Amino acid sequence: MQKIKNVFENFKYLLFLSTLAFSFCSPLCSRNKDSSYSSQKIQEEKERRTNQNDFEVIIENLEIPWTIIFINRDEILITERPGKVKIFSLQYKKLIREFQIEGIKHIGEGGLLGATIHPDFKENNFIYLYYTTEQNGNLINRVERYILKNYELIKDKIILNDIPAGRIHNGGRIKFGPDGHLYITTGDAGNSDNSQNINSLAGKILRVEEDGSIPEDNPFGNYVYAYGIRNSQGIAWDAEGNLWAIDHGRSGIQSGLDEVNLIEKGRNYGWPVIQGDERKEGMETPITHSGEDTTWAPADLIYYNNSLFFTGLRGQAIYKYDITNRKLEVYFSQKFGRLRAITIGPDGYFYVSTSNRDGRGYPNEGDDKILKINPEIFFDSVSYKLEGKFYNLLVADEPAEWLRGLMFARKCADGFFDFSYEITPCLNWWDGMIFIFPDKMVRSFWNKNTLVDIDIYWINDDDVIGKAFLPSFERTKKIYTVTSPSQVNKVVEIIN
């Protein structure tokens, strides 16, 4: 038997696994939600220790930054709610250009909110802005397309007009999905009846063609994609192309019940008829929620390595929700104050904005800021010695149900970044994974859609009892299956 040695490194430095996603036949995808988890009975909220090396303040003295966009590897575009668009150079850490958007009405929660760039931005220079303005004496929200070229921002056309607006609940997040359509989150504008009215653009997730026309396969023949939303400010797509959204729950004396939802076309997400774990035919309960006594006030959402990450305004934290193990963890609680925008940069780091100057926070020196955060802190890692070589591996929890088969691994050239819907950057800083199984059951793996070659080691009590090789599906074009020769307590997957 060949002996191997586990060497666990300091767990505050965690592996950056930038390109790993999983292929699951998950209960989430079939809408079979775990109500006991949603009711918070077994939800885990854990504050992780962090230190000064885990983050860096890269920009200061902003005024309510709402969206962060990378327009190239070195330059970021930031929207500020009072109406300014700013472009910064990260290399030189300075402001390059600043634009004041005409007609912005910065009233309450309204103003210049979401922004996104076209999937073909390098060719067409299209940037889309969501903002509050006034039309015929009434407040409305609007999505407008601009052209950003040679550091000039030029109006192009209105994409969507007459979205109901108010002092509160304006939604405002916009992103292009993997289908090439523009998705827009809107709030109920302070009138909860709007959310259940499929003929109103308020309290919805909207789906629009890039030029503002209605997609032929939208469920109601209009812009509405999903409804029953209170005030969603964050959407993201996972590795399987599923759409997720966060939503603000009730407010006032009775707060809490903020939501994480798996969004499907034409579905009703219940506001204001049902909340929390309540159920009603034809309405969807959330995958998870904050409970009655906790308020996240979720503000933006990204997907990264099989987890959803969202910021909290009132919660003053970054939240990580593992969509397989249905586990919630809390990071940076009350360290920076209110947090709003979050995105992934081409370098694989998270970029997060504070929102302490929005009238509901307590500004600190230098607020508002943009923080650069090392994503390694969100994942446990181990250095593993195998056949005389050390590997950096992610330590994976066993899924609640063993459904996924072999992991779906994506590996590509350094610097790849798909701006269309913020897919995880592919930076080859990782070697693979180690799975630890306390029950020592025999495990079967199959190459269902793996994009890279993988060596699998079956290990029990640090003895290698078997080894298998799985070629990539692209190379074999078939499903490959391997099974451990006996009971094991570890499985190590090494990416070739």
Q: pLDDT digit string (tens) for 419-460?
A: 333 334 433 346 777 888 877 888 777 776 667 788 889 999
Query: Position 114: which residue type?
Result: G
Phi-psi region of 452 (alpha: psi -120 to 50; beta: other; left: phi over 0): beta
pLDDT recorded at residue 53 = 65
Q: And the tokens for 150? A: 């040679």
Pairing state between β 408-409 and 480-483: unpaired
Residue 27 lies in a domain: no
Q: And the tokens for 49? A: 């220790």
Region 404-421 average pLDDT: 40
Q: And the tokens for 278? A: 């309540």
Q: And the tokens for 227? A: 């409804």
Same domain, 147 and 202: yes
> What ranges make up the beta strands (E) of 387-447?
389-396, 408-409, 432-436, 444-447
Residue 324 lies in a domain: yes
DSSP string spanning 29-69? Answer: TTT---HHHHTTSS----BPP--GGGEEEEE---SSEEEEE
Same domain, 206 and 123: yes
Residue 26 lies in a domain: no
Kind and range of the H or E run holding 369 = none
Peptide bond into 368 cis (omega under 30): yes
Region 153-174 average pLDDT: 97
Region 258-283 average pLDDT: 98
| Domain termination residue (choose one: 340, 374, 408) | 374
CA-closest candidate to residue 180, choices 207, 145, 143: 207
Residue 23 lies in a domain: no
- Average pLDDT over the chain reads 84
For residue 196, the SS3 value is helix
User: Band of the pLDDT at 34, cuts 50, 70, 90?
Assistant: very low
Please check the confidence at residue 233 and state whether its pLDDT lies above 60. yes
Sign of CA dihedral 138, 141, 147, 150: positive
Region 368-396 average pLDDT: 86
Query: Which single residue is written with the structure tokens 């080859």?
Result: 428
Instruction: Give the list of residues 6+ apart from residue 336 with CB closer than 8 angstroms, or none.
Output: 316, 352, 354, 364, 369, 371
Same domain, 264 and 306: yes
Q: With contact defined as beta carbons under 8 Å apart, do 323 and 355 qualify? A: no
Out of 352-356, 365-369, 481-485, pick the least confident: 481-485
Same domain, 286 and 412: no
Same domain, 435 and 458: yes
pLDDT recorded at residue 446 = 73
Share of the chain above pLDDT 70, in %: 81
Give the range of the structural domain holding residue 394, as residue numbers without chain letter. Answer: 2-17+379-495
Same domain, 105 and 205: yes
> What ranges make up the beta strands (E) of 118-209?
126-135, 138-149, 152-164, 174-176, 182-185, 204-208
Query: Comparing 435 with 467, which gets the higher pLDDT?
Result: 467
Residue 63 lies in a domain: yes
Out of 99-103, 244-248, 464-468, pick the least confident: 464-468
Same domain, 51 and 193: yes
What number of residues does the chain have?
496
Residue 25 lies in a domain: no
Instruction: Give the list of residues 6+ apart from residue 484 with CB closer than 8 angstroms, or none.
Output: 442, 443, 444, 458, 465, 466, 491
Q: With contact defined as beta carbons under 8 Å apart, do 225 and 219 qualify? A: yes
Write the CATH number for 393.
Answer: 2.60.120
pLDDT recorded at residue 470 = 85
Query: Comparing 389 with 477, which gets the higher pLDDT?
Result: 389
| Domain termination residue (choose one: 374, 399, 414) | 374
Residue 24 lies in a domain: no
Same domain, 244 and 264: yes
Q: And the tokens for 164? A: 């109901």
Write the CATH number for 202.
Answer: 2.120.10.30
Same domain, 102 and 80: yes
- Give me the phi and psi of 378, to 5 degrees please: -90, 0
Same domain, 321 and 396: no
Peptide bond into 375 cis (omega under 30): no
Region 144-163 average pLDDT: 97
Out of 153-167, 277-291, 469-483, pick the least confident: 469-483
CB 68: neighbour CB atoms within 10 A?
24
pLDDT recorded at residue 304 = 87
pLDDT tens string 316-335: 999 999 887 888 999 999 99
pLDDT recorded at residue 448 = 67
For residue 25, the SS3 value is coil
| Cα–Cα distance, 450 to 445 (Å, whole number) | 11
pLDDT recorded at residue 70 = 96
* Cα–Cα distances in angstroms (integers) from residue 69 to residues 263, 269, 463, in the given order: 24, 29, 48
Please check the confidence at residue 401 and state whether its pLDDT lies above 60. no
Same domain, 397 and 353: no
Out of 203-207, 269-273, 433-437, pick the least confident: 433-437
Query: Position 312: which residue type?
Result: G
Residue 122 lies in a domain: yes
User: Band of the pLDDT at 380, cuts 50, 70, 90?
Assistant: confident
Same domain, 417 and 292: no
| Domain termination residue (choose one: 374, 397, 426) | 374
Share of the chain above pLDDT 90, in %: 61
How many structural domains comprise the chain?
A: 2
